[in-house]
Amino acid sequence: MLEALSINGGTIETSCPIKPKVTITASMSQYTDKLRFLLIDRLLEQSLTIEVGKCLRRQEERLEEVRLLHVELSGVANLANKCYGNSATIFVSILPALIIRDPELIKHILLKEFHHFTDRFATADEKIDPMGGKNIFLIKGSRWRHLRSNLSTTFSSGKLKRMFPIVVKCAQDLRDYVRETGSSKDNPLDVKDVMARSAIDVIASCMYSIDSGALRDPRGEFRKFGKKVFAFSPKRAIEMLAFFFTPGLIRFVKGMFFQRNSDKFLRGAFTEAVKERETRESFRNDLVDVLLSLKRKKLEEKEIKGIAKKKDTEELKTLGFYHPGQRKIWHSLRIFYLLNCFFPSLEYTDEDLVAQAVIFFTAGFETTSITTGFALYELAMNPQVQKKLREQIGQVLDTHDGHITYEAISDMKYLDMVLAETLRMYPPLPFLDRNCIKDFTIPGTDIVIEKNTPVYIPTLGMHRDPILFPEPLRFRPERFTPENKGSIHRFSYLPFGEGPHMCIGMRFGLLAAKTELVHLLSSWEVAPHAETPRTMVLSPYVLFLRNLGKIPLLFREVQLPVPDDF
């Protein structure tokens, strides 16, 4: 049965035999800076299941001196899990919500009963924030389905293979940059920054056919945009909280999903790419072409409707709508059927297209750089894993004549395991959100999740749950051997989500990450520097998972030759 821990006047009350009373200590000056820290980085990381009251006020401690805003909540989280199992309600502001950590129930929400949870709860106001409100991450209903269906073609196997030489070129540039820059005891490389700049080059080249030059120019426009788009400030903390937890506040705080005016540069770059593509009538099979095809489809629909209204028999014959001998009503029905089945009445403006360009760029470079940066860190801290991976890279390359090919990358199974473990420990988005669009009865119970109830899945908390993943803070790629993967519940491991809302660019992101790592590890050994953190501290101030500070690592050249002719 679903119950809840409630905080009333600073006291946690439960129906469990144990009656702990814990208080919250927070001044209003701490509120804006610390509220997201409480709700996301502690509540979701620890799988804590509590009702959070309408506001935080200074209260006196009772029973134990536990300050929720400043300490780890493992003790409280463990108590919550013992009392309530894998599901519990919380209140965000005054809105009841549900946190789910039961893999079987998650499977129903993300996949089997998806029609009850088709939308994300996160919302933007299109009137004040068109870039946020129109992008595929936040749009709802039929608009999302149509856009998702069209954009998915960007990442088909055929297109990934055609993009692969571009990815390799960017990875070679990265390898050469490390060689030219060098690292020493006094000059380590900050892989957090370097991998972010390299990821920008990959995304810009593959998605927009633009040479961003971000790797070699840290002060370039693309890198500036990448840093600015989700940069933290107290106002940004409130905006992000509103987007994901209290959408009703968005208009009140005038929330913008991307930093105000931060999309101007990418809007200009994308517009120039479109003009160049239309002027030269070139076709490069990238995201720009996919987005332009959406506009062309709408123009085709308008053209056909215009012809149909004119009842131009010759033009109808050309389009296949008119067959001599058939009554006119059948012509009309055929036109009606084709227009509604193949040309959904969804108009895509230039702003719609730019919104997709912005979200693909930001989400793409963030998730790829997060994965490669943390992977290099863990490999540096676990030299035996790094040695094993490098040996397999060499063995696979030997079977492919020393060339880094698409097929060679696919054959590197231990690399798959290393990345899978990296994504377990550091999922780019630490939680998933859904909105219940119609009442849903949890299977096997009489419990109803009511319409408009937000549902949160604490990905980071589940990935670090010792019940689901023993020794969760230990980097152990062997968890993901073919034999061991069978014991991992599919819906307990969700670095890219699952079901129809699964990350659309997952395959591209993994391909880019693998290619970069292969080029680096085949030429370099990574090792910790004196300033490398021995324990990774995650930042409470960002949407995508990031660590606090830099990740300085040393690069030592090794002898595993990789040809430069591919």
Nearest to 90 by CA among 45, 47, 145: 47
Coil, helix or strand at residue 10: coil
What's phi and psi for 411, nearest 5 deg?
-85, -10
**Cβ–Cβ < 8 Å for 54, 93:** yes
How big is the CA angle at 262 (ends 261 and 263), to the nearest 5 degrees? 90
Nearest to 455 by CA among 158, 37, 110: 110
Q: For residue 461, give the H/E element and its range.
A: helix 459-463
The position carrying tokens 């134990």 is 64
Q: Within 10 A of 83 (CB to CB), how many other CB atoms are there?
A: 17
CA distance 320 to 317: 5
Nearest to 85 by CA among 374, 522, 364, 445: 445
CA distance 56 to 44: 18
Handedness of CA 156, 161, 164, 166 (dihedral sign): negative
Nearest to 155 by CA among 282, 286, 274: 286
Which parts of 17-85 fold into alpha helices (H)? Answer: 28-36, 74-84
**Cβ–Cβ < 8 Å for 20, 66:** no
CA distance 220 to 328: 61
Label residues 165-175 b or e (16+ Cβ within 10 Å = b). ebbbebbbbbb
**Cβ–Cβ < 8 Å for 376, 415:** no
The token pair at 392 is 């397999």
Nearest to 514 by CA among 429, 401, 393: 393
Q: For residue 98, give the H/E element and its range.
A: strand 95-100
The answer to whether the annotation marks 170 as part of a ligand binding site is: no
Q: Within 10 A of 142 (CB to CB), how many other CB atoms are there?
A: 12
Residues annotated within a binding site = 503
Residues annotated within a binding site for heme = 503
